[in-house]
Amino acid sequence: MTARERLIVGLDVPTLREAETIVDKLSDDILFYKIGYQLAFAGGLEFARDLAASGKKIFLDMKLLDIDNTVASGVENIAKMGMSMLTLHAYPKAMRAAVEAAKGSGLCLLGVTVLTSMDEGDLIEAGYEYDPHTLVLRRAEQARAAGMGGIVCSAEEARAVRKVIGPDMALVTPGIRPAGADRGDQKRVMTPADALKAGSSHLVVARPIVKAQDPKEAARAILAEMAEVL
């Protein structure tokens, strides 16, 4: 895959107007976009469908988790929308139900291991007995066993996760920050070049591009950094 196929720009903005402006500014430089809760609940689901119909690839970041039947029903409809990737929390039963529902659709299902905004203290507070690294690897093993298409994890865990899931599954890493960029609320971050070297297959970049004074220039700089590694 080329850098353009691996870079996913997160449309983490509150309105469709802002999202449309960003997509227009980035034009043909960017192929892949992520749409999450914020934009989804502001008309972003129809926007996602339209972008997919226009030839863009869409990573729908919904982090699904519910009873098996509800997860399966949601996955079936999302597959019909033409989405390329979809996240769900990496709980074994939910993953198995999703995989069965997505069969034959081409939708890549991604298991969310541990959010990049969480550290060991956050996991302890939430009642988990594992540290982030151990929990990420455990969920990666379960995702591979369930037949998932890939994993979402911090780039800090990418090298270890790649050893668990093998060479074929997608490994999508958010929390990507070019050198010198503000970390924001992310606690585990890495540069684009280092993330690719660690085994990431796709990089999710939002604020460093969408909040940049010149989003197109920012995106091109990241693509160039990725291309050097690839």
Active site residue 214: no
Specify the pairing of strand 202-205 against strand 170-173. Answer: parallel
Q: Which pairs from 117-121 meet CB under 8 Å and 24+ separation?
A: 117/185, 117/186, 117/187, 118/187, 119/187, 119/188
For strands 150-152 and 85-89, give the pairing. Answer: unpaired
Please say if 66 is a catalytic residue.
yes
- As a whole number of angstroms, the distance between CA 121 and CA 182 comes to 22
Nearest CA-CA partner of 100 in 119, 140, 72, 74: 72
Is 25 an annotated catalytic residue?
Answer: no
Show binding-site residues: 12, 34, 61-70, 116, 177, 186, 206-207
**Catalytic site residue from 66, 119, 122, 194:** 66
Instruction: Say which of 25, 63, 187, 211 is annotated catalytic.
Output: 63
Binding annotation for substrate: 12, 34, 61-70, 116, 177, 186, 206-207
Q: Show which residues are catalytic.
A: 61, 63, 66
